[in-house]
Amino acid sequence: MALREANDADVESIRRWRNHDRVRQASIYTAYITPEGHRAWWVAVQADPARQVLIYERAGIPSGVVLFNDHDLVAGTAEWGFFLDVDGLQQRGELLPAWLELEKEAVAYGFDELKLTAMGGRTLAWNTQVLALHRRFGFTEVAERRCTTRIDGEDQVVVWTERRR
């Protein structure tokens, strides 16, 4: 499997990947993440059993992050998200294959390791490439969970996609 638990040695790479302009632009929270803010996030994640941070490795090279949040053990549900090392993967000509592999691995991890009955996530409606990727892996839009949120002073439509076991 190409996923492993994140550890202290991964924290700065996670911050660097998350602060990439393309990742921030496609995120609901777009602010630049400071080292202090990131350390506080990491401490909070480690203390919260409902949250999990995994490192995606491509050919043994750390290349992205998969996040599981709000993991409800009773209901068997979690929200998930991901981002990649855009620059590193682009330099190696592996960005598209990494997207595909990461999603495949994340779905398998959610259902096989976390024993989820459903996993879902939020995507900005304009991010049609990611929405198409999710559809390719069996996710469907849940219309009742579509919403609008204010990001950087503009209203943005957020789509919830979900996959059941």
Spatial neighbors of 138 by CB under 8 A, at least 6 apart, are 107, 163
74 has pLDDT over 90: no
Mean pLDDT of 135-147: 96
Q: What is the CATH number of the domain that holds 107?
A: 3.40.630.30
Spatial neighbors of 58 by CB under 8 A, at least 6 apart, are 2, 64, 89, 94, 97, 98, 101
Tell whether 139 is covered by a domain.
no
Question: pLDDT-based confidence at 103, cuts 50/70/90?
Answer: very high
Question: pLDDT-based confidence at 73, cuts 50/70/90?
Answer: confident
Tell whether 94 is covered by a domain.
yes
Query: Which helix (H) or strand (E) segment is 141 a member of?
Result: strand 140-141
Report the distance separating Cα 48 and Cα 51, nearest Å.
6
Tell whether 65 is covered by a domain.
yes
pTM of the model: 0.93
**Hey, what amino acid is at 49?**
P
Mean pLDDT of 111-125: 96
For residue 75, give its domain range.
Answer: 3-117
Beta bridge partners of 58: 61
Tell whether 26 is covered by a domain.
yes
| pLDDT tens sequence across 13-46 | 999 999 999 999 999 999 999 999 999 999 999 9
Annotate 35-66 with DSSP letters as a single string. Answer: HHHHHHHHHHHHH-TT-EEEEEEETTEEEEEE
Report the distance separating Cα 18 and Cα 20, nearest Å.
6
Question: pLDDT-based confidence at 124, cuts 50/70/90?
Answer: very high
Number of separate domains in the chain: 1
